[in-house]
Structure 1
Amino acid sequence: MKIRAITIGQNLLENDLKQKNLRKNLIKLQILKKNFENKGIEVEYIRFAAQPFLKSVNLSKNSIYQKREEILAVLEDLVDEKLMGIYAFMPGLCDQKTNLTDSQFILLKDIPNLIYKYPNMFTSIQVGSNREGINFQAIKECTKIIQQLSHPDPFQNVKFAVTFNVPPNTPFFPSAYHIGNDHKISIAIEAADEIISILKNNSINSTNLKNIKTAIQKRFEEIFDKIHSIVSPFCKEHGFTFVGMDFSPAPYPTKEKSIGTALEELGLCKFGETGTVFSVGFLTEALQSVNRPKIGFSGFMQPLLEDFTISLRNNENKVDISKLLLYSTMCGLGLDCVPIPDNLNPTVIELLLMDLGMISLRLKKPLTARLMPIKNKNAGEMTDFDFEYFTNSKICNLNSSNQIDLQDFYKNNSSYRF
């Protein structure tokens, strides 16, 4: 186990274009990072998440969005100073019943340009929630962003997520965004190896599910308590609010740190086979039953390209988009780092996002999509990324007609609320 990210959330200020207050807080977080390391807990990243733009977004000359490139240059400098690793800038809450505003359209259309120009920028757009419903205009605009980011470098889509029902101040990227006037700290962990260890020591052939669940609860309570004992006094001393820890055991693309490996250690099936829904649901329920404050997703994650075993099973044709959607009903995250063909009609992606959104709203759970169209490649071909956190895999097929036209649908439906 290690800490994947200490994420600080705070508002960027119009009257402080150099963001001196953020810089001061990032310097303080170096102390927290050192405190963790002194207790034997590795910290991978310090990250920053800004406030989202809303339908009331102001593009006057003094707003942070009108001066977005000036602020982005400052944020990149903070990365260069090694005060943080990556940041979430210009996330948007577009889950609204009304049409998108002209200002929202302007910002959405600028996202691909900004992500290409500022290499450490991540962002997300919330297009649906149980509070407001699904905004189909936002889904259409996000599909344009996904397809534009795929050229010339499909890797850029790792920095963009389409989200549903994601609450503020979750620590995982790209979905993080900040709400509130205080400065908030949240923690994301990389702990798939912990689940593997628990299941190796508690085989389903030698014990029962109740005992396995109890072992997971006990270990993750210990992890939380140790983290809390370090971060809580720091926050009190330095004026931060500790929001909590996301209990999702994020994987790393090696077999021994794979959440897919953990699922298979349960002993019922290989990932993608019959029994996967039960296994994913069991692990998610066990994590969500830990008797400690939880934030964010706090469940099973299935990031295809970030997980060794899930990627392997995809190569063996045990995984497809329909199965990943099915598992999204049980898991905590959704369609994450999923490679798809480059030559898709945009409506195919839009309908896939609608499917995911319907699951999220019907089940009242946070879900996200990081879809990665792979330039000049078709379903069944291999990706060829060279990135520490990816393992290459086959491009997934989307079983849908490329001749679908949603023009009349959009004309009659800008949004839908249950």
Structure 2
Amino acid sequence: MDIQQMQETIAMIREENLDIRTITMGISLLDCIRGTMTETADAVYAKIVARAKNLVPVAEQIETEFGIPIVNKRVAVTPVALLAGGATDFDFVQIAKAMDNAARDTGIDLIGGYTALVQSGMTAADEALMRSMPAAFAATERVCGSVNVGSTKSGMNMDAVQLMGEVVKEIANPVPQNAMKLVVFCNAVEDNPFMAGAFWGVSEGDCAVSTGVSGPGVVQRALAAIPDAPFGEVCETIKKTAFKVSRMGQLIGKTAAERLGVPFNIVDLSLAPTPAVGDSVAQILETMGLSHVGTYGTTAALALLNDAVKKGGIMAAERVGGLSGAFIPVSEDANMIDAVAKGHIGLEKLEAMTAVCSVGLDMVAIPGATPASTISGMIADEAALGMINNKTTAVRVIPVPGKDVGDFVEFGGLFGRAPIMKVNDGDASQFIARGGHIPAPIHSFKN
């Protein structure tokens, strides 16, 4: 980065909420498999601490040296369901506690990878891990998890979809915040640095560092300066801004990797909002000319934003990965919260928007009385969007016990606050109960 770029970056940090949202270290735990779950849990703790012990000190040193905020320091590990080895008791909560203790002792904010990949089918270990999630998340503070229920190549595992609807309900009762720790995916990626869905895929190396950058405020301010520009100029402005933001992400990531003595992996180009004023993806869409997010034209505006961010960022970094695009988590975006509270946007419009953005129904609070089969239906619909369109989609919904439409739930910090959204009162239980597998789409056969 030259002097002018550094000066521009400093201005973005001071005035437009620019930050490195996360430095995430990926750690393979495949060499931690032992004969019993207790022995495996001990090995998991030891390896995470050995690899990540300097992650927080190095990140804080870089923050001070460069003057760039690094909001979260995180670790992602091998999907834990794969660590069963020769064990027969499948007491995965032991491993969750070992991960949590390692996170606490190294000072990292969150650790992801309490995960099962079941798009084609469930092993006994996969199912045991999925059923253990309520107990694991209740017993830990920093552990996050995910389940991949479908893919374009494999189709959709409806038995897993049905089970996850039940698991989400159980996780959220009586502490709804625990449901924030779980994401249900279709086409999950192996190098995602963002929680709660981060895990370290088996095709990755032993250990590496990735960064996730975030700059909704930077993009919004750039577009506010060209209020009447045609779409071509809008795209170019977003691309140039994404280039600068992503360049910073690579600089910080490579510096951290060098100091930690591990490879640098990828930059995730995602625009991740926060509840802070001026740090909103929804506000970017409104700055393009929409009276409020959710009105007609919202999906088109989001498609433009998502594509331009990727085009600009991919030229700035040696390796781009993760989810890369625009996130629309309801509780974490001030303008999105306002739109939902005023009735400008509902679940159906959010679902349409997820067809063109990163991930899917994210940080959505729903009435606590919502049936498990309805939650499974939401998961199935989002997974279908991902499966057919060959993209990553996900669901992170939070059924809040004792709350109904019009109420609010407070999550705090980066997680914000959420209005309880109205859920369609139809019944999907017979559909979900069929079980089995929804086949992969015809365009999946490309080899």
TM-score normalised by the chain length of structure 2: 0.85
The 3-state SS of whatever aligns with 1:134 is strand
In structure 1, give the amino acid aligned to 2:343: N
Separation of aligned partners in 2, 1:106 and 1:74: 17
Provide structure 2 residue ranges, at least 5 long, that are not aligned to the other structure.
1-17, 35-41, 442-447
The C-alpha deviation readout for 1:256-299, integer Å capped at 9, x for no partner, is 11111121111233101111011111111111112244212211
The 3-state SS of whatever aligns with 2:434 is helix
8 Å CA contact retained: 2:90, 2:128: no
8 Å CA contact retained: 2:90, 2:125: no
Out of 183, 187, 200, which is 1:165 matched to? 187
The 3-state SS of whatever aligns with 2:234 is helix
Query: How far is 1:167 from its partner?
Result: 0.8
Separation of aligned partners in 1, 2:284 and 2:353: 15
In the other structure, the counterpart of 2:338 is: 312
Out of 98, 116, 123, which is 1:101 matched to? 123
The C-alpha deviation readout for 1:52-99, integer Å capped at 9, x for no partner, is 156x763534x9x94644443443333333531110132111111x4x
Query: How far is 1:246 from its partner?
Result: 1.3
Compared CA separation, residues 24 and 404, structure 1 to 2 (3 A):
closer
Aligned ranges for residues 229-378 of structure 1 at < 5 Å? 229-236=251-258, 238-290=260-312, 291-292=315-316, 293-378=319-404
Moved more, 353-362 or 293-302: 293-302
Moved more, 28-37 or 102-111: 28-37
1:51 aligns with 2:78: yes
Separation of aligned partners in 2, 1:289 and 1:18: 38
In structure 2, give the amino acid aligned to 1:367: T
Query: How far is 1:109 from its partner?
Result: 0.7
Report percent identity of matched pairs. Answer: 20
Query: How far is 1:181 from its partner?
Result: 3.3
8 Å CA contact retained: 2:20, 2:249: no
Separation of aligned partners in 1, 2:248 and 2:411: 35
In the other structure, the counterpart of 2:165 is: 143
The 3-state SS of whatever aligns with 1:215 is helix
TM-score normalised by the chain length of structure 1: 0.91
In structure 1, give the amino acid aligned to 2:407: M
Query: How far is 1:391 from its partner?
Result: 3.9
Separation of aligned partners in 1, 2:60 and 2:51: 12
Compared CA separation, residues 261 and 365, structure 1 to 2 (3 A):
same
Count of matched residue pairs = 408
Compared CA separation, residues 80 and 134, structure 1 to 2 (3 A):
same
Provide structure 1 residue ranges, at least 5 long, that are not aligned to the other structure.
none
In the other structure, the counterpart of 1:14 is: 33
Query: How far is 1:193 from its partner?
Result: 1.1
Separation of aligned partners in 2, 1:140 and 1:233: 44
Separation of aligned partners in 1, 2:51 and 2:392: 29
Out of 205, 226, 229, which is 1:181 matched to? 205
Which structure is higher in helix share?
Answer: 2
The 3-state SS of whatever aligns with 1:81 is helix
In structure 2, give the amino acid aligned to 1:338: V
Separation of aligned partners in 2, 1:237 and 1:80: 22
In the other structure, the counterpart of 2:218 is: 194
8 Å CA contact retained: 1:198, 1:212: no
